[in-house]
Amino acid sequence: MTSRVATAEPAERARPSRRPRAPAGLLVAALAVSGLVVLPVAYLAIRAAEADASSWDLILRGRTAWLGVRTVGLAASVTTAAIALGVPLAWLTTRTDLPFRRVWSVLLALPLVIPSYVGAFVLISALGPRGMFQQLLEPLGVERLPDISGFPGAFLALTLFTYPYVFLMTAAGVRGLGSSMEEASRSLGHSRWRTFRGVTLPLLRPSIAAGGLLVALYTVQDFGAVSLMRFPVFTQAIYLQYRGAFDRTPAAILSLMLVALALAILSLERRARGRARYYRAEGGTERPLSPVPLGRWRWPALGVCAAVTLLALALPLSVLTYWLVRGLAGGGGLSSVWGPAGSSVIASGAGAAIAVVAALPVAILAARYTGRWSSISERTTYLGYALPGIVVALAFVFFAANYLPALYQSLPLLVIAYVVLFLPQASSPLRGALLQVSPRIEEAGRALGSGPWGAFRRLVLPLISRGALAGFALVFLTALKELPATLLLRPTGFETLATEVWTAASVGLYSSAALPALVLVAVSAVPLYVLTTRVEVRER
């Protein structure tokens, strides 16, 4: 008997440790969240399957192909320009001796708080044929400026107000680089430029690809800027088809095409990121990277930073202030904006809070219980990146009108749409924070008599609070600016800052759009401040 026990112990030790099994409640909660995200795609597939010959004839016309070409061309152009702008600016503000580089790093990130539709109406009112600059040049005999509407205006508006995605991602990547790689390259006699091109830039590839992904998806999902600039793309066609036609099946088919395009962009981003690993070397002490002296390029670099800040931040704020003063001089009041401002904060805050709660089981499953179901749950929630707001709105309008009429045109339905759209922004920081907390902390809590939930609540939850705060701030910032889903799902009489800006700007009432636009920018600056100064979460 003794010999059997003695021989059994080594065999037991040699047996590989079994992967911990996820609690049933956690698994059900995560899969329920994933099912909610899949719901819009299921609706599109059902409606497309019900399409008759006339619907397909409408879709398969040459105009649809041109919509696809315009959408892809705009996304590719804006993404390329944002990378060309964001990467050098990130390098200048993090790796060089640029004067006041901390100030520039804040100013160059601030255009992220300006929605693209606000930027579009600012550009139209300032640079349009009969805009503010034409009026300034009129004494010189300039009666009309070139029309910027169409592709040039959409490209400029989207580039100026999306490049901060690339800028912030790349800057974070540069700050995470160690000194050993660059020092090894320089010790081999390579110049700074060759070291940057052959060593630093490949290490920044994941960060650049992640920023480019956000820009590309934002561009294909954009509705406000392209509509104001009168540049026909998929989102505008879907909205017009939904509003103007009794049969909404063609709108569903177009939406399915848009989702397929977004999924293709996600696939391209994974290829651009590559399968290589970009870990820093373990062991030893990494010295901080010394600033690169700009020398004679210091003043041109300052000029570039100033020009971008002037065009993407100072110009919009100045134009909005001009129209606000003009509106107040004409008898406009300030009271009309506080109702929409409160509605925006309530809807966005509720969406952000519920998104963080919904993302928690998905993040726990992905970080603690790796396996097939956790992988399916996590990847499904990231489908929210590929779902334009107008697509989610169409799906929820259909399901609410047919199966849950009490939710139709209600605030809870709008909040649920925000959760589906922006769930990845809540789950990513939470998962990153959970991966930084050792599972042994929970094991110690259980050994001391706490249950699984008690140990998690008392020991782990405080440690991941920054990740939760980052997710809340990200969702709140994005939901504040969201337009198409809000337009279609808001309750009757429920106006937000985004809908107020859109309603006034779409009919050329710039004085009426200025105040809600400025308030929207001011409110959006709060979560951006939290993200850039109060939260530091590394994702692994």
Residue 185 falls inside a structural domain = yes
* Cα distances (Å, whole numbers) of residue 348 to 344, 411, 419, 475, 520: 6, 11, 10, 8, 12
Q: Which residues pair with 292 in a beta bridge?
A: 96
Residue 311 pLDDT? 93
Do 405 and 262 lie in one domain? The reply is no
Residue 289: HSE in the Cβ half-sphere, 13 Å Cα cutoff: 24
Do 35 and 153 lie in one domain? The reply is no
Q: What is the pLDDT of residues 226-266, one digit of tens each?
A: 999 999 988 888 887 777 665 667 777 788 888 888 888 87
Q: What percent of the chain has pLDDT over 90?
A: 21
Residue 167 falls inside a structural domain = yes
Residue 518 pLDDT? 92
| Cβ neighbours for 74, distance < 8 A, ≥ 6 positions apart | 151, 154, 155, 158, 219, 226, 231, 233
Buried b (16+ CB within 10 A) or exposed e, 504-529: bbeeeebbbbbbbbbbbbebbeebbe
Do 34 and 122 lie in one domain? The reply is no
Residue 134 pLDDT? 81
Whether residue 349 is predicted with pLDDT greater than 50 in this model: the reply is yes
Do 190 and 215 lie in one domain? The reply is yes
Whether residue 346 is predicted with pLDDT greater than 70 in this model: the reply is yes
Mean pLDDT lowest for which of 79-88, 147-156, 258-267? 258-267
Crossing angle of the two packed helices 411-435 and 24-49, in degrees rounded to 10: 130
Residue 282 pLDDT? 45
* Cα distances (Å, whole numbers) of residue 60 to 52, 69, 73, 244, 247: 12, 14, 20, 19, 16
Unique residue bearing structure tokens 């139209």: 124
Torsion of CA 279, 284, 285, 288, to 10 degrees: -40
| Sign of the four-CA dihedral 309, 176, 181, 289 | positive
Whether residue 441 is predicted with pLDDT greater than 70 in this model: the reply is no
Do 423 and 513 lie in one domain? The reply is yes
Whether residue 74 is predicted with pLDDT greater than 90 in this model: the reply is yes
Do 264 and 126 lie in one domain? The reply is yes
Whether residue 325 is predicted with pLDDT greater than 70 in this model: the reply is yes
Do 129 and 266 lie in one domain? The reply is yes
Task: Provide the 3-class DSSP secondary structure of residue 229.
Answer: coil
Residue 274 pLDDT? 55
Instruction: Please report which helix (H) or strand (E) contains residue 8, including its range.
Output: helix 2-14
Residue 12 falls inside a structural domain = no
User: At 377, is the pLDDT very low, low, confident or very high (cuts 50, 70, 90)?
Assistant: confident
CA dist., res. 420 & res. 351, Å (int): 9
Do 306 and 414 lie in one domain? The reply is no
Q: Where are the alpha helices (DSSP H) in 274-337?
A: 298-309, 315-329
The two three-digit tokens of residue 19, written as one number: 């992967």
The last residue of one of the domains, among 288, 315, 342, is 315
CATH of the domain at 62: 1.10.3720.10
Task: Provide the 3-class DSSP secondary structure of residue 183.
Answer: helix
Residue 285 falls inside a structural domain = no
Q: What is the pLDDT of residues 411-434, one digit of tens each?
A: 999 999 999 999 888 887 777 677
Q: What percent of the chain has pLDDT over 70?
A: 76
- Count of domains in the chain? 2
Residue 309 pLDDT? 94
The two three-digit tokens of residue 132, written as one number: 């503010």
Do 257 and 237 lie in one domain? The reply is yes
Residue 9 falls inside a structural domain = no
Buried b (16+ CB within 10 A) or exposed e, 282-320: eeeeeeebeebebeeeeeebbebbeebbeebbebbeebb
The last residue of one of the domains, among 262, 283, 315, is 315
Residue 460 pLDDT? 67
Report which of residues 267 and 525 the model is more confident about.
525
Nearest to residue 132, comparing CAs of 140, 335, 124, 86? 124
| Cβ neighbours for 468, distance < 8 A, ≥ 6 positions apart | 356, 360, 429, 430, 433
Do 251 and 310 lie in one domain? The reply is yes
Do 240 and 354 lie in one domain? The reply is no
Residue 2 falls inside a structural domain = no
Residue 73 pLDDT? 94
Instruction: Please report which helix (H) or strand (E) contains residue 179, including its range.
Output: none
Mean pLDDT lowest for which of 12-16, 427-431, 484-488? 12-16
Report which of residues 217 and 188 the model is more confident about.
217
Quote the distance between the C-alpha of residue 53 and its chain's center.
Answer: 37
Give the best-scoring range by mean pLDDT among 298-312, 420-434, 524-538.
Answer: 298-312
CA dist., res. 161 & res. 225, Å (int): 11
The last residue of one of the domains, among 255, 282, 315, is 315
Residue 325 falls inside a structural domain = no
Contacts for 322-329 with beta carbons within 8 Å, 24 or more apart?
Answer: 322/132, 322/514, 323/125, 323/510, 323/511, 323/513, 323/514, 324/511, 324/514, 324/515, 324/518, 326/511, 327/511, 327/512, 327/514, 327/515
Residue 281 falls inside a structural domain = no
Look up the domain containing 177 and give its range.
52-273+299-315
Average pLDDT over the chain, rounded to whole?
Answer: 79
Residue 163 pLDDT? 93
Do 408 and 436 lie in one domain? The reply is yes
Query: What letter represents residue 520's amino acid?
Result: L
Phi then psi for residue 210, to 5 deg, are -65, -45
Q: Where are the alpha helices (DSSP H) in 128-198?
A: 132-137, 151-175, 180-187, 192-195
